[in-house]
Amino acid sequence: MIALALLFCLLGLLLFWRVPVPKRARSKHEPSVSVVIPARNEERSLGRLLASLARQEPPVAEVIVVDDDSVDSTARIAVEGGAVLLRSRPLPAGWTGKPWACWQGAERARGERLLFLDADTWLEPHGVADIVEEHGERGGPLSVQPYHCMSRAYERLGALFNLITMMGLGAFTIAGDRLPARAAFGPCVMTSREDYCRVGGHERAAGAVLEGFPLGRAYSSNGLPLRCLGGRGCVSFRMYPGGLREMVDGLAKGFATGAGAIPCWLLVAVVAWVTGAVSTTRHALALSAGTGVESTAWLAVAALYAGQMRWMLTRVGNYGWWPAVLFPIPIAFFIGVFVLSFFRTTLRKHVSWKGRAVRTG
């Protein structure tokens, strides 16, 4: 059993071997960029993003905020922040809110490249230029998972969701770029207008709760493999500042659905890694009072898991020490929310997010 737990721990290294980030741009001469921001009740976050876009060097061509029927001050903040405000048309049958907002923003945009950003992100002053240069080096779509910035303890409970999201895309394995990413990160995606129109854009993800998976398939099926990067030093986000309930609802709205879209071999590897952590925790706790070789061995494996998670988490967010050292707590939270997600998305077949009911099947 100890050897198996060690093997499963090793899988984590293979799945999360390297997280490349956008390199600093060498040139300030770049094609025009249109930023599209889908926004529904984002008054707490939108201002920070718009302020960061106003500081970009060189400036972006245009910033479009698509107001998706907000009932707060989102529209006013968009106008005051210098963005073009686009009021969303009524949601058509078969569409979910975010893909519809992105589709409308892309129709209005005039830039050679489109940068889709969630309203809870923000960029360093060189962020857009860095993303543009990375995109230009290889062509095809580019997606960046923002660096997760948190300020309250409950936000760090979601540590495993961040890690497993990145593992499940297959973009950060020991194989590197030889293994194409399986999906885009929803918060930050750059594409050329030509490629976006060629693959059908967000229309290909019209009814998706997690639009990154059908978008990734749309590009790959047209010979445009997706590339994914980490966002440290370039683009950041704070996902759930509204409290624990908001975080649980946000994570549960589609995580089980996303797990079902992962290739079988990758899903098995991720499940094995989590199973190893759970098994290690159980044995280490059961034998922690002992002094024999077996108890010492299990405690050593638990220490390896803790060190591994600390190494992983430093690259994706400001999680600090406790989610790694006390990793059984985030694991228990992950399992609980995953079960809730499975119930809502697979059994009940609908979720609610930002005051809107969404069918999942």
pLDDT along the chain (361 residues), means of 10: 89 94 81 94 96 94 96 96 96 94 97 97 96 90 96 95 91 86 92 96 92 92 93 96 92 75 87 93 71 79 95 96 95 93 80 68 61
Token pair listed for 352: 């609610």
For residue 147, what are the β-bridge partners? 236
Q: What's the CATH code, domain 33-243?
A: 3.90.550.10
Residue 55 CB burial class (10 angstroms; 0-12, 13-18, ≥19): middle
CB 116 within 8 A of CB 108: no
- Rounded to whole angstroms, the Cα distance separating 343 from 351 reads 10
**Cα 338 to Cα 336: distance, rounded to the nearest angstrom:** 5
- What is the rounded distance in angstroms from the CA atom of residue 306 to the CA atom of residue 322? 9
* Distances 134 to 21, 174, 330 between C-alpha atoms, Å: 9, 21, 33
Query: Which residue ranges make up each domain of the chain?
Result: 2-16+260-359, 33-243
- Residue 353 sits at φ, ψ, to 5 deg, of -145, 125
The distance of Cα 344 from the centroid of its chain, to the nearest Å, equals 20
Give the separation between CA 249 and CA 303, rounded to whole angstroms.
Answer: 32
Question: If you search the block for the tokens 């996303």, which residue do you land on?
Answer: 258
- Report how far apart, in Å, the C-alpha atoms of 42 and of each of 101, 314, 344 are: 14, 28, 24
Place of tokens 């099926």: 221
- CA quadruple 271, 273, 278, 284: dihedral, nearest 10: 160
Residues 6 or more apart from 107 whose CB is under 8 A from it? none
Q: Given this model, what pLDDT does residue 288 score?
A: 60
- Which residues partner with 87 through β-bridges? 67
CA distance 360 to 344: 9
CB 111 within 8 A of CB 33: yes
The pLDDT assigned to 152 comes to: 95
Helices and strands per DSSP (H, E), number in the chain:
14, 12
Q: Which residues contact 343 (CB under 8 A, 6 or more apart)?
A: none
Asked if 129 and 28 touch (Cβ cutoff 8 Å), the reply is: yes
**In this structure, are strands 62-67 and 84-87 parallel, antiparallel, or unpaired?**
parallel
Where are any strands of DSSP class E within the chain?
A: 33-39, 62-67, 84-87, 113-117, 121-123, 142-145, 147-148, 188-192, 227-230, 235-237, 350-353, 356-359
What is the spatial distance between Cα 257 and Cα 275, in angstroms, rounded to a whole number? 20
Rounded to whole angstroms, how far apart are CA atoms 314 and 199? 35
pTM of the model: 0.93
Q: What is the pLDDT of residue 9?
A: 93
